[in-house]
Amino acid sequence: MNSPFRKDQLVETSDGTQRVKPVKNLGDGVQSFTVKSPDKSTRTNRYRDGKFEDTNYNPSKMKTKKIRKKKPRIPNVLKNVEMPEYNVKVNVSDKDQAVYNYNKKNKNTKAKPGKKTITKTKNLVTGKINKTA
């Protein structure tokens, strides 16, 4: 037994094989048919009284862009290396050593600071004298 539905017609074009759906009667002498392309876009053509009237083009859906996950940064494992020695032996003359020892011994004796100077300014609004250090 045959199906009550009409099948699509396959048409070979430069874009590939396109499927042409059967013609639909929309009323008032308007007919339409749909052409489906291999890139999943559709084009609907409408005719009124056998004359071409209008066409609609529906492009295929855009693919959503996949977001790549960032890989975690794994630091390099440090190798066990001997610590370098920073205590370097320096040959210092006796005179320089004596000066160093003297300065080290007397480093806490600082010169006493002088007396702080105080300036007096007259306030032009109130007439009083202000003392500033």
Q: Which residues pair with residue 44 across a beta bridge?
A: 34, 56
pLDDT tens-place string over residues 12-64:
999 899 999 999 999 899 999 999 999 999 999 999 998 999 999 999 998 89
Q: Give the span between the Cα atoms of 27 and 36, in whole angstroms.
A: 23
pTM, 2 dp: 0.45
End-to-end Cα distance, the chain: 114
3-state secondary structure 30-58: EEEEEEECCCCCEEEEEEECCEEEEEEEE
Give residue 110's pLDDT.
Answer: 62
80-87: average pLDDT: 82
Q: Which residues pair with residue 108 across a beta bridge?
A: none
Give residue 108's pLDDT.
Answer: 66
Q: Are 20 and 28 in contact (CB under 8 A)?
A: no
Domain boundaries, the chain: 9-58
pLDDT tens-place string over residues 84-112:
778 877 888 999 999 988 888 887 656 66
